[in-house]
Amino acid sequence: DQQVKQNSPSLSVQEGRISILNCDYTNSMFDYFLWYKKYPAEGPTFLISISSIKDKNEDGRFTVFLNKSAKHLSLHIVPSQPGDSAVYFCAASAKGGTSYGKLTFGQGTILTVHP
Amino acid sequence: NAGVTQTPKFRVLKTGQSMTLLCAQDMNHEYMYWYRQDPGMGLRLIHYSVGEGTTAKGEVPDGYNVSRLKKQNFLLGLESAAPSQTSVYFCASSGSTGGWRNSPLHFGNGTRLTVT
């Protein structure tokens, strides 16, 4: 029972263009969403997050959009750079004080940005 | 500034052998976690701890035990390794001051374990 799904295993884009990574969730108790980036042989690193009280959060070239009614979020990278090539994981956390930072992760999307 | 350090980086075990994976963090974080990453599965939570001396089960706890005797360390044990435990194991920590969302999970670089 995959509560967080990233249905695209991979995405290839040209340098300078927009990269759009998608994520769907099924659990209506999730109220906080995060994106992590992972390079080979390294651990995931936090990229950007969004609370369910917002529909957009922006940080430099990275913007996350949340559509609560569709239970869908997306990460936009503009402009894409070759150094953005990595695996991107979507993650979600449930409401409440007992969430303790426990995250449910999607399967990941491999992004390749070609020079 | 080490952050989260995991040892060892690689290990090969035979079925039935035991081992302990060590995680150490130097950020004074209250919460610590062990995840495993398998192809096509993302990261799945094995066990977690919300403070020194506490542990709790995550999504896939069977076959693993944990201990948090010191705030900075979180140990993951495999008592009798099985091939199904072949995976990459990640430790993470997060702060609780002001809420963990002010300090989202920081991950170590992982331990690649193969059980033959």
Local confidence pLDDT in tens for the 115 residues of chain A: 789 999 999 999 999 999 999 999 999 999 999 999 999 999 999 999 999 999 999 999 999 999 999 999 999 999 999 999 999 999 999 876 667 888 999 999 999 999 9
Give B92's strand partners.
Answer: B33, B107
* pLDDT score for B86: 97
Q: For A101, which residue in chain B has the nearest alpha carbon?
A: B100
Q: Which of B30, B35, B36, B37 to mutate to test the interface with A (most CBs of A within 10 A)?
A: B37
* pLDDT score for B37: 97
* pLDDT score for B1: 61
Low-confidence ranges of chain B (pLDDT < 50): none
- Encoded tokens for B102: 């002010």
* pLDDT score for B41: 85
Residue A22 burial (C-beta neighbours within 10 Å; 0-12, 13-18, 19+): middle
Q: For A9, which residue in chain B has the nearest alpha carbon?
A: B40
Taking an 8 Å cut-off on Cβ atoms, the answer to whether A45 and B107 are in contact is: yes
Radius of gyration for the alpha carbons in chain B, expressed in angstroms and rounded: 14
Which residues in chain A have Cβ-Cβ distances shorter than 8 Å to B105? 44, 46, 101, 103
End-to-end C-alpha distance for chain B, whole angstroms: 36
* pLDDT score for B39: 87
